[in-house]
Chain A
Amino acid sequence: MTKLRNTQPALYWCGVALVAIALIALPLVLTLVGTAWVRITNLAILFTFLALGLNIVVGFAGLLDLGYIAFYAVGAYVYALLASPHFGLHLPFWIILPIGAFCACVAGALLGAPTLRLRGDYLAIVTLGFGEIVRILINNLSSPFNITNGPKGITRIDPLQIGSVEFYNSDTWLGILFTGPAKYYYILLLILMAVIVINLRLQQSRIGRAWVAIREDEVAAKSCGINTRNIKLLAFAMGASFGGIAGGMFSAIQGFVSPESFILQESIMVLSMVVLGGMGNVWGVIAGALLLSFVPELLRYTVQPAQQALFGRMLIDPEVLRMLIFGAALVLTMRFRPAGLWPESRHRQEFSGEHRT
């Protein structure tokens, strides 16, 4: 990419412009197909945030985290509590999102601090427990003081509002109809760009190098003078704050949160996105997140008509078949591309065994 920019700048910038136009036009085109698809795209972007955040912990620093969705939950509930009739608070989103990110960041450090000496499977078990604790807390913090409203969740969360633009209804600008989800899409796209830039910069920074060192060999990292404790905590905290931002946006878009959005399966889903896409490579992780978000939805809409056309009737329940195909696709990908679809060069070496002599 950088090579193309240097050798043929015109071609490079044309490419960039085309991608930009495509990204801007996408929700308008999808609206014509069905607003549902714009919503699906928005959720896919939210999951991309999550996958990029988890990639910091798992991909960069090599710390296996199975409870990542907890930070998404923290961000979502912070938004829900501060902008809904539940407490009668209606703070603007630009105050709540940073608060949510900060709370998730603190939660990340809280998880990181006691687990500093753990790695691999042991760390995975502790993080799994942490994720469950957060979910169960949310489920039960309804008495004696009603904080989270328990399993019923929190409803009527304020939608986003920037100036006079409200995000829950449609607007017609320049003769083009912009639905609510389409407007959210643009906000999410902007945040996504920022998140991608932050991730790429982090990877090339001194902190990024320290993460790689810790991932590769912790004792050697220490003997290079890396403060492994702080650098690991930083990975947890930064990863968590991305999750918190994603959670806040989720609350605003959905208008409703409940504990069942934050089950273990969601953590595993985000981890699958990171691993399938290619741990440590920002673009691979984005590809993994988009793929795992869209493919199940595509299957949802195609499995039933395909069966009708082939056999004239429904043989297998579409929901079952969908998950079956999805699972098989995961297994096959990991069989034939064990380092992920688009791995970071170092992870690729690990699986091809290049460095063994």
Chain B
Amino acid sequence: MSAAGPILEVRDLHVAYGGIVAVKGVSFEVANGETVCLIGANGAGKTTTLKALTRLLPARGTLHYDGQSLLQRPPHELIGAGMTLVPEGRGVFARLTVAENLNMGAYCRRDKVGITVDRERIFGLLPRLKERAKQVAGTLSGGEQQMLAIGRALMSRPRLLLLDEPSMGLAPMMVQKVFEVIRSVAAQGVTILLVEQNARLALSVAARGYVMESGRITLTDAAPALLANPKVREAYLGE
């Protein structure tokens, strides 16, 4: 893998819901193999940005993934290109079993052997899921569901993983575990764009961060510098 040019490049992205402009000219980039976070308060436009990236919402601006424009491509093609979203609120198939959920993540793949290998690998990474493979996903705890959502996304063999608020609604213990998983996924070489309200945690796994406020990116820096920045400390770290 060469690090020539960013894997994801966003320039002047605008997204509107009807008349309300939620994202007003956002630009950022993610380099190959990097973990980058997008932090900000509720309603800053973080999730909207991700939805625009994955073509779930119409948008204006330039979106380049792997050097190609994304704007003309339908959402279902992105997964084949290696870009997978873990949606906000987990979005597991509640009435399907854990194993069925994982298989659904490999929907676009035809290599049966590879799928089995990957499933075992994911069970190795997330042993809780293996214990509950035949259980219906809706019976899992919130944290386990988040793990399952990440596992399902990994089944598509992503090069770029987009995580939308993985800590949302989870107990602090569980949040730690989920972030451990994110760290080990990143360690395996998957590029990650992490959207989070929990700025401290997000900056602890990411190398760089962007701060988003009312639809604009107001600040960007390396993660340690952002953690030390007084404005960030005041606004997002509660100090």
Which positions in A face B, CB cutoff 8 Å? 206, 209-210, 212-213, 216-217, 219-229, 346, 349-350, 354-357
Interface centre among B78, B80, B93 (most CB of A within 10 A): B93
| Chain B contact surface mostly | mixed
Which of these, A212, A217, A222, A356, contacts B76 with CB under 8 Å?
A222
In contact, A216 and B95 (Cβ under 8 angstroms)? yes
In contact, B74 and A227 (Cβ under 8 angstroms)? yes
| Chain A contact surface mostly | helix
User: Which A residues lie within 8 Å of B136 (CB)?
Assistant: 349, 354-355
In contact, B85 and A213 (Cβ under 8 angstroms)? no
User: Which B residues lie within 8 Å of A206 (CB)?
Assistant: 107
**Given A209-B104, A224-B107, A225-B78, A216 contacting B84 (CB threshold 8 A):** no
A60 to chain B, nearest CB (A): 13
Digitize B38-79: 1 where CB-to-A-CB distance is under 8 Å, 0 elsewhere: 000000000000000010100000000000000000111111
In contact, B139 and A355 (Cβ under 8 angstroms)? yes
**Chain A residue nearest to B91 in the complex (CB):** A220
Which of these, B54, B94, B107, contacts A226 with CB under 8 Å?
B107
Name 16 A/B residue pairs within 8 A (Cβ), A-sorted. A209-B103, A219-B91, A221-B104, A222-B75, A223-B86, A224-B107, A225-B77, A225-B80, A225-B107, A225-B108, A226-B76, A227-B74, A346-B95, A354-B139, A355-B136, A356-B138
B164 to chain A, nearest CB (A): 10
CA A118 to CA B96, docked complex, whole Å: 23
**Given A225-B108, A354-B139, A212 contacting B56 (CB threshold 8 A):** no
**Given A212-B96, A216-B95, A223 contacting B87 (CB threshold 8 A):** yes
In contact, B139 and A225 (Cβ under 8 angstroms)? no
**Chain A residue nearest to B85 in the complex (CB):** A223
In contact, A355 and B91 (Cβ under 8 angstroms)? no
For this complex, into which size category does the number of interface residues on chain B fall?
20 to 34
User: Which A residues lie within 8 Å of B226 (CB)?
Assistant: none
**Chain A residue nearest to B153 in the complex (CB):** A223
CA A221 to CA B96, docked complex, whole Å: 12
User: Which A residues lie within 8 Å of B84 (CB)?
Assistant: 223, 225
In contact, B95 and A224 (Cβ under 8 angstroms)? no
User: Which A residues lie within 8 Å of B108 (CB)?
Assistant: 224-225
* In the complex, chain B residues 126-159 whose Cβ is within 8 Å of any chain A Cβ: 136-141, 152-153, 156
User: Which B residues lie within 8 Å of A223 (CB)?
Assistant: 54, 75, 79, 84-87, 91, 153
Which of these, B78, B87, B93, B107, contacts A216 with CB under 8 Å?
B93
**Given A219-B87, A223-B87, A225-B108, A213 contacting B93 (CB threshold 8 A):** yes
CA A216 to CA B96, docked complex, whole Å: 8
Check: B212 CB closer than 8 A to any chain A CB.
Answer: no
User: Which B residues lie within 8 Å of A219 (CB)?
Assistant: 56, 87, 91
Which of these, A217, A225, A355, contacts B156 with CB under 8 Å?
A225
User: Which A residues lie within 8 Å of B215 (CB)?
Assistant: none
User: Which B residues lie within 8 Å of A213 (CB)?
Assistant: 93, 104, 107
**Chain B residue nearest to A353 in the complex (CB):** B138
User: Which A residues lie within 8 Å of B95 (CB)?
Assistant: 216, 346, 349-350, 355
Which of these, B56, B104, B140, contacts A224 with CB under 8 Å?
B104
